[in-house]
Amino acid sequence: MLRLLQLVRSCWMVAAAPATPRERVSLNAGWRFSRFTSNPDSLSYDKLKQWVLPSANDFISGTKRQPPSGTPPGTDVSYVKDSFDDSAWEQVNLPHDWAVKGPFNAPGIGGGMGRLPSNGVGWYRRKVTVASSDIEAGKSIFLDIDGAMSYAAVWLNGNLVGGWPYGYNSFRLDLTQYAKSGDNTLAIRVDNALDSSRWYPGAGLYRNIWLVKVDPTHVGQYGTYITTPSVSAQSATVDLVVEVENKRNGSRKVDVVTEIFAYDPASGKATGNVVATFPKSTITVAAGTKLSVNSSTTVLNPQLWGPAPSQKPNLYIAVTTLSSDGASAAIDVYETRFGIRTVVYDATKGVLVNGQRSYIQGTCNHHDLGSLGAAFNVRAAERQLQMLQEMGSNAIRTSHNPPAPEILDIADHLGMLVLDEIFDCWNTQKTKNDYHLIFPDWHEPDLRSFIRRDRNHPSVIAWSVGNEIGEQSSAAGGATTKELRDIARSEDPTRGVTVAMNSAGPNTQMASVVDIIGLNYQGEGLGTSTSGSFSSFRSKFPNKMIWSSESSSVLSTRGTYIFPVTSGNSATVGGASAGGNNSALQVSSYELYAPSWGSSPDKVFTAQDKNSYVAGEYVWTGWDYIGEPTPYDSARSSYFGIIDMAGFKKDRFYLYQSRWRPDLPSAHILPHWTWPDRVGQVTPVHVFSSASEAELFVNDKSQGRLKRGQYEYRFRWDNVTYQPGDLKVVTYKNGVEWATSTTRTVGDATKLNITSDTTIISGDTLAFVSVAVVDKNGDIVPRASNSVTFKIDGPGTIVSTDNGNPADMTAFPSTTRKVFSGLVLAIVRANAGASGEITVSASADGLTGAQVMLQTS
């Protein structure tokens, strides 16, 4: 696992050879930060806009935007100046999300945005040292920001350099003209409005930031584009575009050579001999311009990239070397990791990768990483995807915004398909201050830069240009769909464009314009309705592939069971008789209760199976996320996740696993079997299993053997009378015993059990330390809610804690937290530069404590 992290980190770096003429260094350390809840500087996007718009010039097809003449706004603001004393400001390292530490119930922020203080103006400052040799060599110096929430504006040494308003997009600013040898003062302002989002946006410099130093004649930003137009087992054609940017005052003749190597997952580097070489091109790039060269080569016996586990995610690296004027040393070396694969959208068979059907077993996910908030961390993101893969998921949808770039690296490595999505709204607002305010000025550069950034990732199989767009059924919406589709096609003609449509019907212009029909909920039918729209889209567009871009939205809280249980296979959540507990703010985990538009997984599976041409689904959501706590707005986080926010699996995990990994013997029983208050009462038992038959026993007494019928996805015994003891299920497939499972009534809590997902941490890696309250036999006490305190000895820090309870308002950094349904999590980081042993201890009143040892180096 650590190895994968190292690979992911190295994959954006150029070759490690010391002579590399390109440097890309992290600017994450050593910032000073201050947040202001009222405007401290009288700046605003409106005032900055004319100076910020030109930052997008590389991504607009029309007339370039020019900054106005005169002094730019902010020049007189003290925070941009070298002379400003920021020593009283907070010291922070990036990625930094100022809101995640809380407290909850921040003024003006409702449940939708997660009740955390994300609003306000944030200023970040740090020194950036530039070597005199770089200045003397006339190097180009760029600032690459993977994402800043939001309306970022950047000053270097008091000069306004530019900015980028969309908080989820990555952007580059050219610092060269303002950089000097020695210390430079970099100041960044971000500005977050109230009512800017339907979910938790995070706040501040929440992703990685880089300084790139390169010869003024270099491969441009996102300057390579690799496609594989024809692929067979024997050979693959690989097409390459290299864009060379020349920032010198004079023109320059440049040789462009690109060689392909196999990618070695063990080292994260190119390995072995050259696999193929593109013909050398020699071009003359005029001063201050860019020029692209196209070339093509053949890779024999290609090792294809494909989704796991049925295929392998093999990767290659193309190493592009620029040299000039016969000089022996390269002036730039640029690496592009890519995969060789084909993707076909077949209207009947679904997604074909390398000719093999990949039924989409996907989930939608928001960008936050639970109690870490929006602050990006590779290991936390990797953990999310690995757990989804363990469930049998092969795809993610980056709902509803550009992800951190590393997410796509991880997906490439793990072999997961990605529906890469950019917008949640266009011109029509969903919340007062959302993206609609800047859509007219920014949709083109945002879309172009997003696609250029992501288009070399083999994991990305389609672009989604919108989710549940307000104007989806109107002519105006149709026209915008066409505009966005055409932009996407002009940047990447190899992938289809889709929009996630929840109400647009088959006769809308939007539906006719998109390449892939993406249906949110309407395919299977909203709520408990079973008359969905799959067949009407199918008859209108027999040649277009249809998938459920968003499905289910079933709700549950891990370990919570509410009685009675509906006899239907999908129900709308309500009070106690409809799966809800309105005072505890919890939803029953029988995995049957959804909001009015949603459905149980079982109902969705039925609709998918009855319409076998549907290419699969992206379930809302894989992981719980901060904000949108439907149906209980006063809570802090969602109930939609298959996995809770701490990373503990809900029962639903096993329902999806039983469908998506049919060959894995599985039998998961719910509910737990410790109900002193229910002796003699009807307590339905459901089992999620990949088997075809199952028999349930209560204290060895059979409750009946069930055969799974067509369109049935769970075994259910709805009339079981609760008696303490053993609940056992024995399952069968093809008449042969398949998997068994037993749940027993547990005794009083006696001690804590502690486990960590790793025993070694360093750098940015994290340990996810779980604690369970158990009885004397070591069984988890299912309704335990003891307060647990975590403590660290040694060079580590507890970053945050969580228990997956959407209604827990204890601030995330708290080292004391109640367990929820028996479990609680602490996230531990090693202190920078430290080495040695870290002991993480957990204690709770009246229980035997526990500790786990971690190593850091």
By the 8 A CB rule, do 602 and 713 touch? yes
Minimum distance from residue 555 beta carbon to ligand GAL (Å): 9
Q: Contacts with ligand GAL in 345-364 (CB under 6 A)?
A: none
By the 8 A CB rule, do 719 and 732 touch? no
Minimum distance from residue 521 beta carbon to ligand GAL (Å): 7
Q: Contacts with ligand GAL in 581-600 (CB under 6 A)?
A: 595, 598
* Pairing state between β 417-421 and 460-467: parallel
By the 8 A CB rule, do 642 and 660 touch? no
Q: Is 245 a catalytic residue?
A: no
Q: Does 624 bind ligand GAL (CB under 6 A)?
A: no
- Of the residues 243, 382, 491, 550, only one is catalytic, namely 550
Element (H, E) at 136: helix 132-136
| Total site size for ligand GAL, rule CB under 6 A | 12
Q: Is 550 a catalytic residue?
A: yes
Minimum distance from residue 713 beta carbon to ligand GAL (Å): 20
Q: What is the largest CA-CA distance in the chain?
A: 89
Phi, psi dihedral angles at 609 (to 5 degrees) = -70, -30
Tell me the C-alpha distance between 12 and 8, whole Å: 8
Minimum distance from residue 430 beta carbon to ligand GAL (Å): 9
CB of 227 or CB of 556, closer to ligand GAL = 556
Minimum distance from residue 315 beta carbon to ligand GAL (Å): 32
CB of 51 or CB of 640, closer to ligand GAL = 640
Torsion over CA: 212, 218, 222, 224 (sign): negative
* Pairing state between β 823-830 and 766-774: antiparallel
CB of 426 or CB of 640, closer to ligand GAL = 640
CB of 400 or CB of 829, closer to ligand GAL = 400
CB of 621 or CB of 731, closer to ligand GAL = 621
In single-letter form, the type of residue at position 543 comes to N
Q: Which residues lie below 8 Å from residue 342, measured CB to CB, with a gap of 6+?
A: 228, 231, 352, 353, 354, 355
Minimum distance from residue 591 beta carbon to ligand GAL (Å): 15
CB of 197 or CB of 393, closer to ligand GAL = 197
Minimum distance from residue 638 beta carbon to ligand GAL (Å): 8
Tell me the C-alpha distance between 308 and 414, whole Å: 7
Task: Report the DSSP beta bridge partners of residue 854.
Answer: 838
Tell me the C-alpha distance between 691 and 593, whole Å: 24
Minimum distance from residue 630 beta carbon to ligand GAL (Å): 6
Q: Does 525 bind ligand GAL (CB under 6 A)?
A: no
Comparing CA positions, the residue from 435, 412, 431, 409 lying closest to residue 422 is: 435
CB of 598 or CB of 671, closer to ligand GAL = 598
CB of 473 or CB of 520, closer to ligand GAL = 520
Comparing CA positions, the residue from 346, 369, 347, 350 lying closest to residue 359 is: 350
Q: Kindly report the CA angle at 484 between 481 and 489, in degrees rounded to 5?
A: 120
Q: Does 502 bind ligand GAL (CB under 6 A)?
A: yes
3-state secondary structure 844-857: CCCCECEEEEEEEC
By the 8 A CB rule, do 434 and 425 touch? yes
Structure tokens at 751: 């001690």
Tell me the C-alpha distance between 23 and 139, whole Å: 10
Q: Does 620 bind ligand GAL (CB under 6 A)?
A: yes
By the 8 A CB rule, do 277 and 258 touch? yes
Residues in the chain: 857
Binding mask 631-650 for ligand GAL (x = CB under 6 A): ---------x----------
- Write 706-711 long-range contacts (CB < 8 A, 24+): 711/605, 711/606, 711/609, 711/610
CB of 471 or CB of 550, closer to ligand GAL = 550
Binding mask 390-429 for ligand GAL (x = CB under 6 A): ---------x------------------------------
By the 8 A CB rule, do 511 and 475 touch? no
- The residue assigned the tokens 């105006």 is 476
Minimum distance from residue 419 beta carbon to ligand GAL (Å): 13
- Of the residues 406, 468, 491, 695, only one is catalytic, namely 468
CB of 74 or CB of 202, closer to ligand GAL = 202
Q: Which of 176, 320, 365, 553 binds ligand GAL (CB under 6 A)?
A: 553
Q: Does 223 bind ligand GAL (CB under 6 A)?
A: no
Minimum distance from residue 640 beta carbon to ligand GAL (Å): 6
Q: Does 550 bind ligand GAL (CB under 6 A)?
A: yes
Tell me the C-alpha distance between 134 and 21, whole Å: 11
Three-class DSSP category at 4: helix
List alpha helices for 471-585, DSSP H.
475-491, 509-513, 534-540
CA 333 remoteness from chain centre: 30
CB of 500 or CB of 565, closer to ligand GAL = 500
CB of 502 or CB of 765, closer to ligand GAL = 502
CB of 550 or CB of 602, closer to ligand GAL = 550
Comparing CA positions, the residue from 197, 71, 195, 183 lying closest to residue 132 is: 183
Phi, psi dihedral angles at 450 (to 5 degrees) = -60, -45
**Cis peptide before 816, with omega less than 30 degrees from 0?**
no
Minimum distance from residue 137 beta carbon to ligand GAL (Å): 49
Minimum distance from residue 399 beta carbon to ligand GAL (Å): 6
* Region label for 146, one of left (φ > 0), alpha (ψ between -120 and 50) or beta (otherwise): alpha
Q: Does 520 bind ligand GAL (CB under 6 A)?
A: yes
Minimum distance from residue 364 beta carbon to ligand GAL (Å): 7
801-834 burial, b if ≥16 CB within 10 A, otherwise e? bbbbbbbbebbbebeebbbbbbbbbbbbbbeeee
Q: Which residues lie below 8 Å from residue 254, measured CB to CB, with a gap of 6+?
A: 217, 244, 246, 282, 283, 284, 285, 322, 323, 324, 331
Binding mask 436-475 for ligand GAL (x = CB under 6 A): -------------------------------xx-------
Binding site for ligand GAL (CB under 6 A): 399, 467-468, 502, 520, 550, 553, 595, 598, 620, 628, 640
Active site residues: 468, 550
